[in-house]
Structure 1
């Protein structure tokens, strides 16, 4: 029997039970992880993550495992659905925690930025004695000078807070990149893009796969399993087929963007580059098999 690592203590009980069931099937079939990867079309690294509770196996991998071990997929896919819901809840809690951390950091930075800028107070000119009220002309001059001083104080405060004059600020605003084109600052280690910055790029190379990905949609077309893969952290999705044959083609479409991937000889799965999405349901994956059969996720 294979010797498995202890599952993470923080793992949801529903996910833990599902993972232990996968381990039992692998043990009963006498399969090594390498053999499992070869027979299912999912990489060895992916199966190590699935079986150690670091990543929820996609439905296609679960069905493939059932086929390899001669197990009915009905009970197994039911367990997967329960585990997938638990995984989604855990992701939601993680996202809320990360959002709260970002808000706290932003508030801290704003406090550090504005904390030293106290309120500037301008002392009014001393009032003349009641018996010595200045003439009307002098009063107008004093009022004018007081107003001018107030205007200068306001302009000086604006300059100190922004660190630049209006002209320089306008020039910088004109040349500043849009939020969609900014770097992936503040993202987890290894993640190299977010949103539209991920469009057209490889999910694995950009650090958007692994523990950060879930299967949003799936469909079976012939012998191939078609999936929409989604990374909430990267704000991107891509299409993938497993059980593929040379010549099979997969594409993903979202927000008017389409990306394609082709299966080549020696590969049993392939995936497309990423497209930016606001949520998983925005992306659709379709496949055209070499046999001519077609299908899309629902």
Structure 2
């Protein structure tokens, strides 16, 4: 009997209940994960994700499990529909969380900007209040020759002239300070702006310090790396485009927090080829075993910039995702983008869920 690991914390109760029911069915049938993969046509890796709560099992896998274990398909499908709605709600909450992260990053960026230099303020000497010099007349006669009014020393200039000179000097000094502030402070600010433009901070290094726990890369750092190993899959990713190619399902997966996208194929067979293209870059993988597969990541500025294409079976081809002239030429299609599999595959893939990887 398999020994299951604890389901991820914060998993929606309906998803948790549905995953627990799948585990109970596997236990009752006495199947190992490898045996379950052999009987259902879905890979061992896929079932480990489904039964571990990291990815919602697609409806086809649920029906295959019901057939193998003898479970009632109607009841199991009802539980799957409830879990699928809960998974969609979780993706909506994730979008709100990403919005909050962007607001927080914007505030942090504003806080990190250097405060503008304060203009030098001129200091003016407080004017000295002049009081008239009171001369006390000498009683009983006139001022004797050679006598001087009190407060004035021999040979010193008049006090009123000295005060006027002090005020004039303070005024000139203040004017020079104001003039210097007007002339030099704007130049200093321009030099600071020029230096900031010449030596921009690495957005990847700033963003790396703000990534959620478990996420190991962002933007260009994710190029060519495994989305699951870097923590970009699961609830941090969503399907932006999908198409049916024969019995296969091709999806474009996008993680906003990682700033990267990749291609995924479900129900693939040995020899199938899966390709992801974005911004002139390409990631390709050849499927070696029956089940699911995905490419490595491509850094993208946002959703809707990636094209996923698959070549399956006896040469059948199909694509999903962005299609402009440049992307079409790089993928070997015409600019008109006539792709029957990609255009008609959306309805066929509507029941597939979006999860990790």
Task: Note whether the superposition's TM-score is higher than 0.5.
Answer: yes
Which stretch of structure 1 is more off in the superposition, 214-223 or 118-127? 118-127
Aligned CA distance change for structure 1 residues 15 and 86 (closer, same or farther; 3 Å): farther
Provide the residue aligned with 1:146 in structure 2. Answer: 174
Provide the residue aligned with 2:245 in structure 1. Answer: 221
Q: 2:318 aligns with which of 271, 289, 295?
A: 295
Provide the residue aligned with 1:64 in structure 2. Answer: 61
After superposition, give the CA deviation of every residue in 1:173-197 in whole Å (9 maximum; x if it has no partner): 3133563686622213443322344
Aligned CA distance change for structure 1 residues 145 and 186 (closer, same or farther; 3 Å): same
The Cα of 1:234 is off from its aligned counterpart by 0.5
- Corresponding position: 1:90 with 2:118: no
* 8 A Cα contact 2:309 2:317, kept in partner: yes
Provide the residue aligned with 1:238 in structure 2. Answer: 262
Partner Cα separation in structure 2 for residue 5 and residue 178 of structure 1: 39
Provide the residue aligned with 1:250 in structure 2. Answer: 274
* 8 A Cα contact 1:226 1:241, kept in partner: yes
* 8 A Cα contact 2:277 2:283, kept in partner: no
* 8 A Cα contact 1:18 1:83, kept in partner: no
Provide the residue aligned with 1:78 in structure 2. Answer: 81
Where structure 1 has 5 or more consecutive residues not aligned to the other structure, the ranges are: none
* 8 A Cα contact 1:14 1:82, kept in partner: no
Q: 2:227 aligns with which of 203, 216, 219?
A: 203
Aligned CA distance change for structure 1 residues 37 and 101 (closer, same or farther; 3 Å): farther
Q: With CA pairs under 8 Å and 6+ residues apart, which has the higher RCO, 1 or 2?
A: 2
Aligned CA distance change for structure 1 residues 121 and 26 (closer, same or farther; 3 Å): farther
After superposition, give the CA deviation of every residue in 1:134-191 in whole Å (9 maximum; x if it has no partner): 48xx85x7545313324656899999xxxx9965763453133563686622213443
The Cα of 1:129 is off from its aligned counterpart by 4.6
Q: How high is the TM-score relative to the length of structure 2?
A: 0.60
Aligned CA distance change for structure 1 residues 169 and 277 (closer, same or farther; 3 Å): closer
- Corresponding position: 1:173 with 2:197: yes
Aligned CA distance change for structure 1 residues 270 and 68 (closer, same or farther; 3 Å): same
Larger Rg: 2
Aligned runs of 1:184-199 on 2, under 5 Å?
184-199=208-223
Partner Cα separation in structure 1 for residue 207 and residue 238 of structure 2: 23
Aligned CA distance change for structure 1 residues 153 and 78 (closer, same or farther; 3 Å): same
What is the Cα-based RMSD across aligned positions, in Å? Answer: 4.4
Partner Cα separation in structure 2 for residue 58 and residue 231 of structure 1: 20
- Corresponding position: 1:212 with 2:199: no
After superposition, give the CA deviation of every residue in 1:103-126 in whole Å (9 maximum; x if it has no partner): 67668x659x87xx9997653222
Q: How high is the TM-score relative to the length of structure 1?
A: 0.69
